[in-house]
Amino acid sequence: MEVKVSVIIPVYNVEIYLAECLDSVLQQTLRDIEIICINDGSTDRSSEILQEYVNKDSRIIIINQENKGLGSARNRGLEIATGEYVAFLDSDDWVDVDYYEKLYNTATKYNAEIACAGYKRCSGRKKSSRLKFRNERVYTKTEDKYKATRMPAYCYVWNKIYKLSNLRMCGLVFTSEFAEDVMFSYRTLYFLPKMVTVPATYYNYRKNPSSFVASQSKMKQEYSVRERAKALDFVTANNIYIPMTSFATKNCIRCKMFNITILKIKIWKSLKIIYFLGFELFRITESEIK
């Protein structure tokens, strides 16, 4: 079988949701896929569930490793993937039945290195569309790709597929264990020339209170602040123009730890002021990052 899409699924202690996630992939209308499950040191029944699914479908590959985090797990999947395109799926989420077929067909139709779909946020029985595309549209300018995907608010890798050969040629991997989506999103949208949007199919993101993303740990806050600071450096170094108002819908962004504001970004017209622990670090205007 010639693999069209490699689906990389990091797995860590998700026994409650794992079957639904895997079923959504096995039921895909696109059959020419491989499903790479990286068991990242799970201590619950996730390993047993994975083994049950391997016995059901030969397209599933299991890689076991010590717990190293999402970034490491995804990189391990990238090392062994054989598909023309590669996708990332979190093991507590699921995708629409035609998701990979629509992304793959649209990507190949326009010879695009990235195809991007909308996503829905799911909490219990409630679903809300957070990103929705009405048309197939091709983007080649970095600023336009950032705007279409609502960067930097939505630094997500799981609602896209990527041309694997281009990722490897550009050396694009995850460089952080947590908050790892941020720099990968900025770099792929910059280095991969063409992106196309795909309407009428969705990634379903589960609001999981026990996930790392939902936690308010000190580690999460530190990684988030660090990765977003690196992203701002990347934008500045590569002369990428992003209107300051796109960094937030409000005039002030706060990163808190134990209810204490660690990092604060104030935006007023074209001026952006960065504070750390209440002390002003620096100021930047839109004209300085054009």
Provide DSSP, the chain. ---SEEEEEEESS-TTTHHHHHHHHHT-S--SEEEEEEEES--STHHHHHHHHHHH-TTEEEEEE----HHHHHHHHHHH--SSEEEE--TT-EE-TTHHHHHHHHHHHTT-SEEEEEEEEEETTEEEEEE--SS--EE-SHHHHHHHTTTTT---STTEEEEHHHHHHHT-----SSSTHHHHHHHHHHHS--EEEEEEEEEEEE--TTSTTT---HHHHHHHHHHHHHHHHHHHHTT----GGGG-SSSEEEEEETTEEEEEEEEETTEEEEEETTEEEEEEEGGGG-
Instruction: Answer yes or no: do 88 and 155 share one domain.
Output: yes
Instruction: Answer yes or no: do 99 and 158 share one domain.
Output: yes
Both tokens of 286, joined, read 């839109």
Cis check for the bond before 152: say yes or no (omega within 30 of 0).
yes
Q: Could you tell me if residue 259 is inside a domain?
A: yes
Instruction: Answer yes or no: do 238 and 189 share one domain.
Output: no
Instruction: Answer yes or no: do 223 and 190 share one domain.
Output: no
Instruction: Answer yes or no: do 200 and 88 share one domain.
Output: yes
Both tokens of 1, joined, read 């079988």
Contact 42, 11 (CB under 8 A): yes
- Quote the percentage of the chain above a pLDDT of 70: 80
Contact 48, 79 (CB under 8 A): no
Q: Could you tell me if residue 213 is inside a domain?
A: no
What pLDDT shows up at residue 153? 81
Q: Could you tell me if residue 211 is inside a domain?
A: no
User: How far, in Å, CA of 216 to CA of 256, rounded?
Assistant: 9
Residue where a domain stops, chosen among 206, 228, 246: 206
Instruction: Answer yes or no: do 187 and 167 share one domain.
Output: yes
Strand partners, 261: 256
Instruction: Compute φ and ψ for 92, nearest 5 degrees.
Output: -105, 10
Question: How many domains would you assign to the chain?
Answer: 2
Q: Could you tell me if residue 67 is inside a domain?
A: yes
Both tokens of 244, joined, read 């300051």
How confident is the model over 174-184, as a mean pLDDT? 83
Strand partners, 267: 272
Residue where a domain stops, chosen among 182, 206, 230: 206
Q: Could you tell me if residue 212 is inside a domain?
A: no
Q: Could you tell me if residue 272 is inside a domain?
A: yes
What pLDDT shows up at residue 279? 66
What pLDDT shows up at residue 280? 64
Global pTM? 0.83
Instruction: Answer yes or no: do 233 and 201 share one domain.
Output: no
Query: Sorting pLDDT into bands at 50, 70 and 90, what band is 236?
Result: confident
How confident is the model over 11-23, as a mean pLDDT? 97
Q: What is the CATH number of the domain that holds 125?
A: 3.90.550.10
Single-letter residue type at 142: T
Instruction: Answer yes or no: do 44 and 170 share one domain.
Output: yes
Residue where a domain stops, chosen among 173, 206, 239: 206
Higher pLDDT, 289 or 204: 204
Per the structure, the complete domain to which residue 167 belongs is given by: 5-206
Per-residue pLDDT for 166 more than 80? Answer: yes
Instruction: Answer yes or no: do 198 and 223 share one domain.
Output: no
Contact 231, 152 (CB under 8 A): yes
Q: Could you tell me if residue 190 is inside a domain?
A: yes
Instruction: Answer yes or no: do 143 and 247 share one domain.
Output: no
Residues in the chain: 290
| pLDDT tens, position by position, 250-265 | 456 666 666 677 677 7
CA atoms within 13 A on the CB side of 117: 28
Single-letter residue type at 16: I
Instruction: Answer yes or no: do 202 and 234 share one domain.
Output: no
Contact 214, 206 (CB under 8 A): no
Per-residue pLDDT for 108 more than 80? Answer: yes
Instruction: Answer yes or no: do 120 and 263 share one domain.
Output: no
Per-residue pLDDT for 17 more than 90? Answer: yes
Q: Could you tell me if residue 63 is inside a domain?
A: yes
How does the average pLDDT of the chain come out, rounded?
87
Single-letter residue type at 31: R
